[in-house]
Amino acid sequence: MASSAPESPAAGASATPAEAELALLRAAHQDLLRAISHDLRAPLRHITAFAPLLRELIEPAPLPAPEHAEALEFLGTMEQAGQRMGRMIDALLALSRLHAAPLRLETVDLQRLVGQLVDELRPADPTGAIAWDIAPLPAVRADAQQLRLLLKELLGNAVKFSRGQPAPRIAVSCTRGADGQWQLRVQDNGVGFDMAQSQGLFGLFQRLHPERAFEGVGGGLALVAAIARRHSGSVRAQAAPGQGCTVTVAWPEALSEE
């Protein structure tokens, strides 16, 4: 019987119990990501692939009018649920990958980044009705990719919830407080929400508005909160029904990589 290869010094023998437990947790996390990416998507792909084929059979079927309409309604519900589940899986994967990714700190030009994102969001405001109020923005120390994702979610939400207003306006500012924390604010004059119902606002799949009124599955703000925590920071929101919303993300000016 062949002898097993000796362990490398870095694996096993020199690892502390805490390091060994962390390695196990990371391996379990990677297994979960693989399961979500492949195993969980497999049955969903069958639903979304076969639903259009079923519609082709039902639409010309010689059913009585009430039953025909009801069958199409059931099918529509099934299709919408499958699409929603796909978006929820995407959100869950994005959050899981964020937690697994290392924090890579660098100097980020906020003015340039916000300008790029505003340009990317133009198609969501085809009439150009939204007035953008972008204050002079500093360069900050952060993970550039994660900060871009955070701002994309916040600005996208501001567009979504304000574009139906008579004079939609979105303001972006970033200042440094006396405590040495950056305070990044995104403010809109959109539909807002009741603060009394805002518990869990930054939780995964939490929504304050019906999906039929505003698209989305409630994954964006959970991602924002996770990115803020990765930067040793926090996020909060202030709003009122019909009076818009202000989201403030705070994180320390002095950061060290994990």
Domain boundaries, the chain: 17-100, 106-252
The residues that bridge with 184 in the sheet, in sequence order, are 174, 249
- Residue-level pLDDT at 1: 42
- Residue-level pLDDT at 6: 41
Name the residue with higher pLDDT: 12 or 150.
150
pLDDT digits (tens, 9 = 90+) for 189-210: 988 888 777 777 777 666 655 5
- Would the pLDDT of 91 be above 80? no
Residue 154 to residue 159: CA distance in whole angstroms:
9
Question: Which range in 46-55, 147-156, 201-210 is most confidently predicted, on average pLDDT?
Answer: 147-156
Residue 148 to residue 135: CA distance in whole angstroms:
17
Cα angle: 143, vertex 150, 173; to 5 degrees? 95
Mean pLDDT in residue range 212-228: 75
Helix H segments across 109-217?
110-120, 144-162
CATH of domain 17-100: 1.10.287
- Residue-level pLDDT at 49: 81
Phi, psi dihedral angles at 186 (to 5 degrees): -125, 115
Mean pLDDT in residue range 116-123: 93
Domain 106-252 has CATH 2.60.120.430: no
Mean pLDDT in residue range 127-154: 94
Please report, to the nearest 10 degrees, the dihedral formed by the alpha carbons of residues 228, 198, 246, 100 taken in order: 20
Residue 255 to residue 187: CA distance in whole angstroms:
26
